[in-house]
Amino acid sequence: MPKLIWEKKLQEAVKRQQRFGWSVRDKRGKVLVQRYYPDINKRVSAALPIKWEPNQELNVLNALQKINEVMQNSGCSLKERC
């Protein structure tokens, strides 16, 4: 199924904000976040409690920013709850 315009815009916004290694996609109506680590060639993913639908871009970007800050400050991975 082709991506909708809002899906492309959300994914482009994630790439602009988070740079390399972060991506989002739909998983059963929720936002699935993936983090790719090129040095170990590994992907880690987690589902967010945010619906995969239009007008959620700001919520997704804010959540990713907070997740990234926690990961950098605490050393936790995307799967761990810190």
The mean per-residue pLDDT over the stretch 45-66 comes to: 94
User: Does residue 37 contact residue 21 with C-beta atoms inside 8 Å?
Assistant: yes
Residue 1 pLDDT grade (very low, low, confident, very high; cuts 50, 70, 90)? low
44-53's contacts with Cβ under 8 Å and 24+ in sequence apart are: 44/77, 44/78, 44/79, 45/78, 46/78, 46/79, 52/25, 52/26, 52/27, 53/29
pLDDT at 46 exceeding the cut of 90? yes
pLDDT over 70, % of the chain: 95
Q: What is the mean pLDDT of the chain?
A: 89
Q: In whole angstroms, give the CA distance from residue 44 to residue 65.
A: 17
pLDDT, residue 56, reads 95
Q: Assess whether pLDDT exceeds 80 at residue 82.
A: no
